[in-house]
Amino acid sequence: MLNDEKVILEERQGEVHENDTSTDLVGSKKLYIESYGCQMNFSDSEVVASIMNKNGYSTTRDIDEANVVLINTCSIRDNAEKRVRNRLTEFKKKKNDNPDLVVGILGCMAERLKKSLLEQEQLVDLVAGPDAYRDLPNLIDEVGTGQRAVNVLLSRDETYADISPVRLDKGGVSAFVTIMRGCDNMCSFCVVPFTRGRERSRDPETIVKECQDLFSNGYREVTLLGQNVDSYRWNITNKGQIKNPEKATVNFAELMELVAKVSPDLRVRFSTSHPKDMTDDVLYAMAKYENLCNYIHLPVQSGNSDVLKRMNRGYSREWYIKRIEAIHEIIPDCAISTDVISGFCGETDLEHSDTLSLMDFVKYDFAYMFKYSERPKTLAERKFEDDVPEEVKSSRLSEIIEKQLKFSLESNKKRIGLIEKVLIEGVSKRSDEHMCGRTSRNSMVVFPKGKGLKGEYVQVKIIDCTSATLMGEEINH
Ligand code: 5AD
Ligand code: SF4
């Protein structure tokens, strides 16, 4: 998630691909698309670009030449919605100059606010929820006939499995591949189950095919995306393909193996794991294949079991610690990151100190840290009072951030002197003389230009670091 409150430690989070262009796509009409929020939204925008491309739209980076402007939105915290509203107000001004311009809202805010953005606030012409993207060309036609168009139906089976996404980061090295949609977990703070609907997995054959195509097109890294990848499950008997009922399903560990086998030169990452569902089988698969990257994002949210219960997370502090121990045992050099929320309903000083002590125990390599933001209709909104004062949320968050910065720096310092295998992502954002890329553990490495080119693997000796970045020099063999 990219958000004002989210602490992004420099480049580790990756680039934000807002309104990137794809000039190789033919089409007389122009689509400008902007994405906010989680990786899933960026991935969805690529599906949208593909659907629109088949209907004669090419994407543009220049909003002033667009016929259609779409904004793919996030509802996870109030700040995320505020940013989108500001942007929509700016789009509305553009519409005053160009009345034919179609402005549409996609994603979680579209689902959450439905018709109100259209009817009460009159900010947009079109509203399409996360399962309605195939309907976009029809909705745009409806707008053309003077109507305001809405489709916010959630589906039990839409996975856009057959759609080959248009990659908006042209010439890229790393791509997102959605493997499942929706979430059935109902964490009490979270709006996602309401905006993205029920959980459903995508046909593994189409996932593997997409990864093969990406590899053939020069990509060297895929990130498999789902709200809870550990509950990925595809029932093969549904397709009548398999005779042996014992092997009638593909689970996440098996899917990872299938993708790992696409090529040893294709790195595979995934997000997000859920502590209650992450199996040892997934860890064993990671240990077995070098190209399954040594990095796990395992959101803890809180280090106190009572808070976890109120959050409806389905695990305790002790269970979480056991999962961390399993990771260390099975994959000794695995980086671990997390999400933490400060000031959830009823959180006491003591409960907060449990979060800090858990951080001391795990020593995360990286973390995304947030203040609790109450979301309408969630279980927490209905059941608990948002009673931790704003200043307390902020001061607890500062303590959490301060601790994490210390651990991120410590984690990076341990890499000094080591030789890391780095997949080059391109020229560094800060200096034309430097390249940047990631290690298997997902650390960003910056080093002076050498022989290695974008999309190639190089060995880099680490010589220095900050809390966010490793600095090194390419080793020539
Ligand atoms: N308030 C603050 N943070 C939230 N997250 C989800 N919902 C909320 C909320 N209401 C955080 C969680 C989750 C991450 C994607 O966003 O930490 O793991
Ligand atoms: Fe939200 Fe919990 Fe589902 Fe993650 S697992 S999307 S936090 S409900």
Q: Which atom of ligand 2 is nearest to the CA of 184?
A: 3
Nearest CA to ligand 2 atom 4: 227
- pTM of this prediction exceeds 0.85: yes
- The Cα 98–Cα 299 span in angstroms is 45
What's the rounded mean pLDDT across residues 173-194? 96
| pLDDT at residue 118, rounded to an integer | 83
Mean pLDDT, the chain, integer: 91
What local confidence, expressed as pLDDT, does residue 477 receive? Answer: 61
d(Cα 106, Cα 429) in Å, to the nearest integer? 30
**For ligand 1, atom 18, which residue shows the shortest CA distance?**
339
Coil/strand/helix, residue 461: strand
Determine which residue's CA is closest to atom 2 belonging to ligand 2: 187
Per-residue pLDDT at 3 exceeds 60? no
CA 227 to ligand 2 center in whole angstroms: 6
Average pLDDT of the segment spanning 234-259 = 76
CA distances from 201 to 48, 128, 158, 242, 314 (A): 19, 21, 9, 18, 21
Q: Which of 199, 228, 277, 307 to mutate to test the pocket of ligand 2 (most atoms within 8 A of CB)?
A: 228
Given a cut of 70, is residue 354 above it in pLDDT? yes
3-state secondary structure 30-81: EEEEEECCCHHHHHHHHHHHHHHHHCCEEECCCHHHCCEEEEEECCCCHHHH
> ∠ CA 311-317-320 to the nearest 5 degrees?
100
Summarize the confidence of residues 397-410 as an average pLDDT. Answer: 98
Whether residue 2 has pLDDT greater than 80: no
Give me the mean pLDDT over the 85-111 stretch: 93
- Beta bridge mates, 369: 340
Closest protein CA for atom 5 of ligand 2: 185
Q: How far is the CA of 189 from the centre of ligand 1 (A)?
A: 7
Which pLDDT does position 198 carry in this prediction?
A: 95
Question: Separation of 274 CA from ligand 2 center, angstroms?
Answer: 9
User: Does residue 6 register a pLDDT over 50?
Assistant: no
User: Does the beta carbon of 193 lie inside 6 Å of ligand 1?
Assistant: no
Residue 182 CA to ligand 2 centre (angstroms):
9
Q: Which ligand is nearest to the CA of 370?
A: 1
Strands 335-342 and 295-297: parallel
For residue 286, give the amino acid letter: M
Give the atom of ligand 2 at the shortest distance from the alpha carbon of 272.
4
Determine contact, residues 349/357, Cβ cutoff 8 Å.
no
Taking the CA of 193 as reference, the closest ligand is: 2
Q: For residue 167, how far is its CA from the centre of ligand 2 (angstroms)?
A: 26
Domains of the chain: 6-151 (3.40.50.12160), 174-413 (3.80.30.20), 419-475 (2.40.50.140)
Q: Which of residues 465 and 235 earns the better pLDDT score? A: 465
Q: Whose CA is closest to 393, among 371, 374, 375?
A: 371
CB of 440 closer than 8 Å to CB of 267: yes
- What tens digit of pLDDT does each residue of 247-287 get? 679 999 999 999 999 999 999 999 999 999 999 999 999 99
Contact of 200 with 235, CB cutoff 8 Å: no
Distance (angstroms) between ligand 2 centre and the Cα of 81 equals: 18
Pocket of ligand 2 (CB under 6 A): 183, 185-187, 190, 192-193, 227-228, 274
Using the predicted structure, report yes or no on whether residue 24 has a pLDDT greater than 60. Answer: no
Q: How far apart, in whole angstroms, are the C-alpha atoms of residue 435 and residue 454?
A: 8
